[in-house]
């Protein structure tokens, strides 16, 4: 019987059409769709290792200048980074019609989907992923890279349950002649006030704006809700600018204290990631191996939100890059009154 099954499997394998091959990679199923193209799982012909391949058509690069700049920026930055909690770029291949970016495969999905489906994380588990996030972003800052679009959708989980930061299309690299950033980028739910409100006329500190986003992400991990939410983007930005947050009673005092150090309107009063890494909540507990792939289902805490499930499962698709404080998005649509979907607000 065992021999029969083996022969049957071999016969089916030999008779089935081979998957399309690009370079040394067999292209498999589509696992996602990004802003500029699809993402497919691929297997290395010789090693058998699996990767995620982002496929971008050359027509996009020719006719969409912002997309061209985003992709080139992401390629340049990922080539310069090497950290266990940052998605790595392993290879780039170009054909007459497509560009293929071969990256780490994060098969566990993104944090937005996980939290939308399962609820808020136990605090010990949230701390573990927060540490990984802080360490990854701090590493970026040490290499003069500022992400500028940190949000749960851009945090992936690999097969071992570890966090991977991805999507560096809006990132910036600081050069020696320009210490501050000027381009208004990001997703409104997670973006620091100074990036949008024009108060930093000489530019803003990318490390402090990333720190604000990290604080909002921690709030989401601990509550499965967003601290700022409104269906109209202009009103949402007003809420972010006021920076008034209601902290649920179930979040521990130490965690609330840390959140209040990060979700701060004035960037000069906001903590740096160096300071975050010395906070009691960050240092508490053990560096154990618990992850989203090993935690028992009984440990999950359902969200206390009364929002309908379709709202919980809607990703924050408002992702813009504004120049000179002009409200013009990448696709030149007027988004002033466009709904800004996301997790429900507390």
Annotated binding site: 62
Torsion of CA 238, 155, 176, 73, to 10 degrees: -100
In words, the CATH class of domain 22-104 is: alpha beta
Place domain 111-322 in its CATH homologous superfamily.
Transferase(Phosphotransferase) domain 1 (1.10.510.10)
Annotated binding site for ATP: 62
**pLDDT for position 70:** 84
**pLDDT for position 149:** 93
235-266, pLDDT tens digit by residue?
998 999 999 999 999 999 999 999 999 999 99
Q: For the chain, where do the domains classified as CATH 3.30.200.20 start and end?
A: 22-104
Q: For the chain, where do the domains classified as CATH 1.10.510.10 start and end?
A: 111-322
Q: CA 210 to CA 341: how far, in whole Å?
A: 21
| pLDDT tens over the chain, length 346 residues | 545 554 554 444 444 455 689 999 999 999 987 667 799 999 999 999 999 999 998 888 888 888 888 888 889 999 999 999 999 999 999 998 999 999 999 999 999 999 998 899 999 999 999 999 999 999 999 999 999 999 999 999 999 999 999 999 889 887 644 556 767 677 889 999 998 876 556 788 999 999 999 999 999 999 999 999 888 888 998 999 999 999 999 999 999 999 999 999 999 999 999 999 999 999 998 765 445 555 544 455 555 543 333 333 344 433 443 333 322 233 333 333 333 334 444 4
**pLDDT for position 304:** 52
Q: CA 102 to CA 42: how far, in whole Å?
A: 9
Q: Which residues are catalytic?
A: 149
Q: Alpha helix (H) ranges present in 40-154? A: 58-63, 65-80, 111-118, 123-142
pTM: 0.79
**pLDDT for position 3:** 56
Q: CA 333 to CA 127: how far, in whole Å?
A: 39
Q: Give the per-residue SS3 of 243-270.
A: CCCCCCCCCCHHHHHHHHHHCCCCCCCC
**pLDDT for position 318:** 39
Which H helix or E strand runs over 51?
strand 50-57
81-140, pLDDT tens digit by residue?
999 999 999 999 999 899 999 999 999 999 999 999 889 999 999 999 999 999 999 999
């Amino acid at each position: 019987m065992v021999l029969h099954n083996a022969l049957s499997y071999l016969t089916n394998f030999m008779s089935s059409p081979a998957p399309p091959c690009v370079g040394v990679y067999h292209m498999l199923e589509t696992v996602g769709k990004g802003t500029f193209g699809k993402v497919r799982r691929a297997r290395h012909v010789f090693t058998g290792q699996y990767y995620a391949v982002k496929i971008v058509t050359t027509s996009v690069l020719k006719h969409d200048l912002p997309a061209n700049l985003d992709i080139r920026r992401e390629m340049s930055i990922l080539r310069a980074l090497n950290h266990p909690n940052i998605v790595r770029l392993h290879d780039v291949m170009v054909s007459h019609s497509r560009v293929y970016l071969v990256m780490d495969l994060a098969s566990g999905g993104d944090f937005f989907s996980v939290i939308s489906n399962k609820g808020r994380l136990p605090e010990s588990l949230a701390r573990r992923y927060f540490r990984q996030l802080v360490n990854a972003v701090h590493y970026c800052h040490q290499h003069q890279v500022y992400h500028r679009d940190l949000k749960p959708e851009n945090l992936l989980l690999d097969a071992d349950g570890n966090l991977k930061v991805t999507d560096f299309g809006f990132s910036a690299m600081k050069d020696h002649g320009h210490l501050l950033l000027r381009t208004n980028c990001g997703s409104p739910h997670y973006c620091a006030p100074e990036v949008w409100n024009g108060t930093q006329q000489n530019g803003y500190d990318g490390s402090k704006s990333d720190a604000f986003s990290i604080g909002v992400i921690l709030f989401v991990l601990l509550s499965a809700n967003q601290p700022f939410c409104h269906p109209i983007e202009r009103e949402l930005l007003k809420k972010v600018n006021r920076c008034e947050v209601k902290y649920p009673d179930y979040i521990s005092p130490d965690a609330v204290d840390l959140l209040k150090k990060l979700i701060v309107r004035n960037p000069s009063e906001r903590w740096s990631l160096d300071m975050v890494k010395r906070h009691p909540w960050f240092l508490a507990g053990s560096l154990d191996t618990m992850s989203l792939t090993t935690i028992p289902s009984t440990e999950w805490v359902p969200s206390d939100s009364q929002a309908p499930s379709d709202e919980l499962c809607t990703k924050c698709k408002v992702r813009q890059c504004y120049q000179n404080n002009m409200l013009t998005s990448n696709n030149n649509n007027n988004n002033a009154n466009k709904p800004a979907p996301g997790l429900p607000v507390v």
